């Protein structure tokens, strides 16, 4: 059978579409991320999450596991229902339950996910390696919004900052140095593959921690989000800053980085830094600022 040129063109277009879609899924997802740096969530962030999750037709899953406070799940559920979300379900599964059909059925039809703050290690201890973790990635790929604050922001990265330090100088003061092999990391959800997220950034002066990490791993883009602030990551791999504080971006990909031969000290030249505020837009693919001025 002879294949005509129009058929060949259509076939090629179909293949390119599949390749393009596969690449998009590999780089991110079909959904949105709302990555919050902790603290109080202003109305601009709350309404954004509710809108992206579908409003009255939405089905939001709340994960309180990072928090040690018993009432976190019900309190968040009430808060999101008050924002007009149609269905809000608190997922209380532990690691064993995260592999059960009963828990997976709770995620059916979900249009959004929200991770509470607390300790990111507690949350990942529940999710890591489970069917529920895989389901969350599928939900994101298929268009759901995944939001989280503080610990719930840290888990978005493939390389997750655990909050622990290998060599703290004193008991009460952390992150006093810029050194190699000091920032403890663990696998996160991987919704942001080439980005590492830090949170409470300006308020808690965590600059040394993130600078150390990006100098050690220049392929990782450091995105540091302050309290009351979020990055809204869209399917086109741009993010927009929402909220009241700054987002600081550290890019060491084009920098010259070295480690001291006689110790763990790190050196770097031409490290790029961007300070972004509400309305700013940053392109994660090209690592460039598209806009750093308030939205008109």
Q: Which residues are catalytic?
A: 150, 200, 227
Residues 281-284: contacts with CB within 8 Å, 24+ apart? 281/238, 281/239, 281/240, 281/241, 282/231, 282/238, 282/239, 282/241, 282/247, 282/249, 283/237, 283/238, 284/192, 284/194, 284/195, 284/221, 284/233, 284/237, 284/238, 284/239
Q: Tell me the two tokens of residue 282.
A: 């940053």
Please state whether 79 falls in left (phi above 0), alpha (psi between -120 and 50) or beta: alpha
Q: Which residue has the tokens 């076939």?
A: 11
CA 222/CA 214 separation, integer angstroms: 6
37 contacts 225 by C-beta, under 8 angstroms = yes
249 contact partners, CB below 8 Å, separation of at least 6: 221, 222, 223, 224, 272, 273, 274, 276, 282
Place of tokens 């009255």: 56
Contact 211, 238 (CB under 8 A): no
């Amino acid at each position: 059978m002879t294949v005509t040129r129009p058929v060949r063109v259509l076939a090629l277009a179909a293949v390119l579409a599949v390749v393009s879609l596969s690449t998009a899924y590999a780089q991110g997802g079909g959904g949105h991320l709302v990555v919050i740096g902790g603290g109080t969530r202003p109305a601009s962030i709350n309404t954004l999450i509710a809108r992206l999750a579908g409003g009255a037709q939405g089905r939001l899953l709340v994960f309180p596991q990072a928090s040690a406070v018993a009432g976190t799940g019900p309190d968040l559920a009430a808060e999101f229902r008050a924002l007009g979300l149609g269905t809000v379900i608190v997922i209380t599964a532990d690691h064993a339950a995260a592999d059960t059909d009963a828990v997976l059925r709770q995620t059916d039809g979900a249009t959004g996910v929200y991770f509470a703050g607390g300790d990111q290690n507690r949350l990942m201890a529940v999710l890591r390696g489970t069917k529920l973790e895989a389901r969350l990635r599928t939900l994101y790929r298929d268009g759901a919004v995944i939001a989280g604050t503080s610990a719930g922001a840290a888990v978005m990265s493939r390389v997750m900052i655990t909050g622990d330090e290998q060599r703290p100088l004193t008991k009460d003061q952390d992150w006093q140095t810029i050194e190699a092999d000091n920032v403890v990391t663990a696998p996160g959800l991987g919704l942001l593959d080439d980005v590492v997220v830090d949170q409470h950034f300006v308020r808690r002066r965590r600059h040394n921690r993130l600078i150390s990490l990006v100098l050690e791993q220049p392929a990782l883009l450091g995105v540091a989000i302050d309290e009351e602030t979020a990055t809204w990551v869209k399917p086109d791999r741009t993010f927009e800053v929402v909220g009241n504080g700054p987002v600081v971006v550290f890019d060491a990909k084009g920098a010259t980085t070295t480690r001291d031969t006689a110790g763990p000290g790190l050196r770097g030249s031409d490290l790029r830094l961007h300070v972004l505020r509400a309305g700013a837009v940053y392109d994660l693919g090209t690592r460039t600022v598209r806009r750093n001025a308030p939205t008109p």
